[in-house]
A and B are shown apart, each in its own frame.
Chain A
Amino acid sequence: MKYLSNVASLEFFPDRCVGCGICLEVCPHEVFALENKKAVILDRDRCMECGACAGNCAFGALNVDKGVGCAAAIINSLISGGEPSCDCSGESKKSDCC
């Protein structure tokens, strides 16, 4: 299953990549592959912007606008201001999380 195409905010800076492969390890959607000792993006549309790759890249070769892909969280953030997060308990807006 894939979500909307051409929306993911994932950015890759190949010149900073040392090919350690941690992004392949943490990505739950097989977005990356290793080619010629460097990471490559196989399919950006599979990215769900969880931020695992960027947070674990010690060389700053990845950047992503990390966030929750949750309509309730985003609607809440539009109403109350601030970043969308899984804090759905505050209001009874939605008792579900993430």
Chain B
Amino acid sequence: MAELKFMKPALKEKTTACCGPAQGALQEPGEMSGNTSLPPGKQGRPAWVTGTLTTEAGPISIVSTDLTMSDFWEHVKCRTSAFRNNYAVNPGLYAVGEPDKNSAVLISANYKLSFDALREALKGLHVWVLVLDTKGINVWCAAGKGTFGTDELIRSIFSTRLDSVVNHRKIIVPQLGAPGISAHQVRKSSGFTVCYGPVKAKDISRYISAGYKATKEMRTITFPLIDRLILTPMEINPAMKQYYPAYSLAMLAIFGLQPAGIYFREALVDGLPFLLLGLISVLAGGLITPALLPYIPFRSFAIKGWLTGTLLVIFSLKFTALFSQMNTVLLIFTYLFFPLASSYIALQFTGATTFTGMSGVRKELKIAIPLYIAGIVVSLVLLLVFKLGAWGLL
């Protein structure tokens, strides 16, 4: 019976999609508590668990600080897959090295990428890692949602009996977890003092050896090119999956549609340039705008995306033969529709950045959404005008 109960959470986790689902109450608060003392072998021990440590609070899994090829492969999938929650770690207390009652306690999220970044940064250290149940979401996002939060932290401190594992009363919480945590409330309820660690896991060793002190650099988040690029697949994938197939079909249908029926030759020959322009606007908004983010003028993402889109459309029309004989109505449509599509896709990237706030995005949307809608309406009218003209009805 007990076995069955332990299995339950793991099974549920598997079916949960990215970003943890609206069904936040999927797991009853108490339900996961059994998980923490469960030897991971019961569910097929993960490759990164190297042994077990016996403590007053029960057996604790020792985790490796070396990442393997299979870890890296999972990271690639984490970065590109829509079902990130398949890459969750069982919440609970873990040991790194040979920690004792005086060793530091680090708090992490149960997203595989977060956990792996942390354990890799802990090479040579002897510490405890308390993994909160953030439904497989990284620290910062989970803190924004509150799953990496005061309540979950306090609950985990009690359910793992942390007070019997260590003698001191200090826990290191990643700084990016701070939006979900009230340090003073954690202290009041659990007796543990929250010390905010550095933004990046790689600085944790220096932070600990400096006596829990972070430099200004360790406290500040940046958004360099590599970080921006690594997040672009999550913008390009949805655009290609959700909008592009429907858009392509619509364009082929529009160009193939003749009074006598649908002609495939017309659909392909006349429609193809527009399918390419669609791809170009996805690239403009989803890849080029994020990559060149600091260098594109204006702070608004909608304007940045529109500028990039416009430049790419001009470039494509000028330097490729595909669009040499463009009808004026279609030309207006092209300059109207594709930059707007790029703008919309670029605006989505606000969700990936480290510096955009809600008030700003709201302001952008307030202006941009009516423009997008108007743009689509005018675009449809232009296509209609083109078709009527082509059929000799105008």
Known: A4-B364, A30-B220, A94-B238. Contact between A46 and B181, CB under 8 A? no
**Chain B residues whose CB sits within 8 angstroms of the CB of A26 once the complex forms:** 175, 178, 196
Is B182 in contact with chain A by the CB < 8 A criterion?
A: yes
- Closest chain B residue, CB of each to CB of A51: B179
Residue of B196, B238, B299 touching A2 (CB-CB under 8 A): B299
CA distance A98 to B181 in the complex (A): 18
Given contacts A25-B175, A25-B196, A25-B219, contact A69 B21 (CB under 8 A): no
Interface residues in B318-369 (C-beta closer than 8 Å to A): 347-348, 350-365, 369
Chain B residues 165 to 218 lying within 8 A of chain A, measured CB to CB, are: 175-176, 178-184, 196, 199, 214, 216
Q: How far is the CB of A68 from chain B (nearest CB, A)?
A: 6
A87 touches B184 (CB 8 A): no
CB distance from A30 to the nearest CB of B (A): 6
B18 contacts the other chain (CB 8 A) = yes
B179 touches A94 (CB 8 A): no
CB atoms of B182 and A86 under 8 A apart = no
A4-B300, A97-B137 as given contacts; A71 in contact with B184, CB under 8 Å: no
Q: How far is the CA of A9 from the CA of B285 in the complex (A)?
A: 28
CA distance A72 to B330 in the complex (A): 30
The chain B residue with its CB closest to the CB of A4 is: B360
Beyond A30-B220, A48-B357, A71-B351, whether A4 also contacts B179 by CB under 8 A is no
Contact check, B179 vs A66: say whether CB atoms are below 8 A apart.
Answer: yes
Check if B179 sits within 8 Å of A55, measured CB to CB: yes
Using a Cβ cutoff of 8 Å, how many contacts connect chains A and B? 179
Contact A8 B175 (CB under 8 A): no
**Complex alpha-carbon distance, A7 and B359, angstroms:** 6
Q: Using Cβ atoms and an 8 Å threshold, which residues of chain B touch A51?
A: 144, 179
Are A69 and B348 interface neighbours, CB within 8 A? no
Majority SS at the chain B contact face: helix
Taking the complex as formed, is A61 at the interface, i.e. its CB lies under 8 A from any CB of chain B?
no
CB distance from B247 to the nearest CB of A (A): 16
B54, CB-defined interface residue at 8 Å: no
Contact residues, B112-135 vs A (CB, 8 A): none
Cross-chain contact of B22 among A46, A49, A87 (Cβ < 8 A): A87
Question: At the interface, yes or no: B235 with Cβ under 8 Å from chain A?
Answer: yes
- Contact A74–B361 (Cβ < 8 Å): yes
Which residues of the partner chain A approach B347 to less than 8 Å between Cβ atoms?
71
Contact partner of B348 (CB less than 8 A), chosen from A65, A86, A94, is A94
| B window 1-40: CB within 8 A of A | 16-22
Cβ of B145 under 8 Å from chain A: yes
A87 touches B21 (CB 8 A): yes
Known A22-B183, A66-B179, A94-B238: A87·B20 in contact at CB below 8 Å = yes
With contact pairs A72-B351, A89-B19, A95-B18 given, residues A55 and B299 touching in the complex (Cβ less than 8 Å): no
- In the complex, residue of chain B having the shortest beta-carbon distance to the beta carbon of A48: B357
CB distance from A19 to the nearest CB of B (A): 15
Give Cα A74 to B143, complex, Å.
18
Chain B stretch 133-158: residues in CB contact (< 8 A) with chain A: 137-138, 140-141, 143-145
Q: A55-B181, A98-B140 are in contact. Are A28 and B176 (CB under 8 A)?
A: yes
Name the CB-closest residue of B to A75: B365
Q: Which residues of B contact A97 (CB under 8 A)?
A: 18-19, 84, 137, 141, 351
Q: Find chain B residues with CB under 8 A from A4 CB.
A: 299-300, 360, 363-364
Chain A residues with CB under 8 Å of chain B are 1-5, 7-9, 22, 24-30, 46-52, 55-56, 58, 65-75, 78, 84-90, 92, 94-98
Task: Offer 27 A-B interface pairs, CB within 8 angstroms, sorted by A.
Answer: A22-B183, A25-B214, A28-B199, A29-B221, A29-B355, A52-B178, A52-B179, A55-B178, A55-B181, A56-B178, A67-B357, A69-B358, A71-B350, A84-B358, A85-B145, A86-B144, A87-B19, A88-B18, A88-B351, A89-B17, A90-B21, A94-B348, A94-B351, A96-B234, A96-B235, A96-B352, A98-B352
